[in-house]
């Protein structure tokens, strides 16, 4: 992480560290117990996470829309109620779908149910479990810019889902933000060339080449 210049804070850094609790302990260790610098490091890391949140969000929406479109082509606008789709789901996925339908309330449209399903649901539809039932006949068409194996795409999407969850729970990322952005560009490029340019423009951290 980049070095941060010493500044005079308008708050008591030691009390802030106490309020943050275990979250800041790693930064205190890295800063040799200097509370002021630890808070600065923590704040800078939070800024980096916020800079990743926007392109990850764009990717989630684009991925969800592309996969939803493929499901509509396969089973119609009420794909979420079709036996062919539902019977292929694992118990866990069936539960998640039922919860999403409940959240959609009386608005049982494809868009409403799709939006109520989390990134994790769509990510797992790309897992090996659904290789024959979903990927080969249907979901591969959601990624016109991709000609590789399902597993390689799943690994990228799965990593982005992990990053999203870590950031959402204010955790510590396990990899470089530049690598995260590289995966974002890869996944979006499999969906849409124009969307790739748009997502790249939203990035404040240069993707790893």
Q: Is residue 5 part of a domain?
A: no
Q: Is residue 14 part of a domain?
A: no
Condensed to tens digits (0 to 9), the pLDDT of residues 105-155 reads: 877 899 999 999 999 999 999 999 999 999 999 999 999 999 999 999 999
The three-state (H, E, C) secondary structure of 47-89, written as one string: HHHHHHHHHHHHHHHHHHHHHHHHHHHHHCCCHHHCHHHHCCC
Q: Is residue 16 part of a domain?
A: no
Q: Tell me the percentage of the chain whose pLDDT exceeds 70.
A: 96
Q: Is residue 207 part of a domain?
A: no
- Give the range of the structural domain holding residue 177, as residue numbers without chain letter: 23-201
Neighbours of 42 (CB within 10 A): 20
Q: Is residue 12 part of a domain?
A: no
Region 72-100 average pLDDT: 96
Burial 111-134 (b: 16+ CB within 10 A, else e): ebbbbbbbbbbbbbbbbeebeebb
pLDDT band at 4 (very low <50, low <70, confident <90, very high): very low
Q: Is residue 58 part of a domain?
A: yes
Q: Is residue 186 part of a domain?
A: yes
Question: Is the predicted pLDDT of residue 6 greater than 70, yes or no?
Answer: no
C-alpha–C-alpha distance, residues 44 and 12, integer Å: 18
Q: Is residue 18 part of a domain?
A: no
Total structural domains in the chain? Answer: 1
């Amino acid at each position: 992480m980049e070095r941060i210049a010493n500044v005079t804070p308008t708050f008591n850094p030691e009390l802030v560290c106490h309020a943050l609790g275990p979250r800041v302990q790693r930064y205190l260790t890295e800063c040799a117990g200097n509370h002021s610098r630890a808070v600065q490091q923590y704040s800078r890391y939070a800024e980096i996470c916020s800079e990743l949140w926007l392109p990850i969000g764009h990717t989630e929406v684009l991925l969800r829309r592309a996969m939803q479109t493929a499901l509509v082509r396969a089973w119609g606008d009420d794909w979420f109620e079709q036996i062919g789709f539902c019977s292929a789901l694992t118990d866990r996925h069936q539960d998640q779908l039922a919860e999403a339908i409940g959240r959609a309330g009386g608005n049982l449209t494809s868009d409403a149910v799709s939006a109520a399903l989390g990134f994790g649901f769509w990510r797992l539809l790309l897992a090996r479990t659904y290789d024959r039932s979903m990927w080969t006949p249907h979901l591969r068409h959601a990624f016109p810019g991709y000609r590789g194996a399902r597993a390689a795409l799943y690994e990228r999407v799965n990593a982005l889902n992990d990053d999203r969850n870590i950031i959402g729970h204010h955790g510590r990322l396990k990899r470089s933000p530049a690598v995260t952005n590289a995966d974002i560009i890869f996944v979006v490029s499999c969906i849409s060339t124009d969307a790739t340019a748009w997502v790249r423009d939203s990035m404040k951290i240069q993707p790893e080449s």
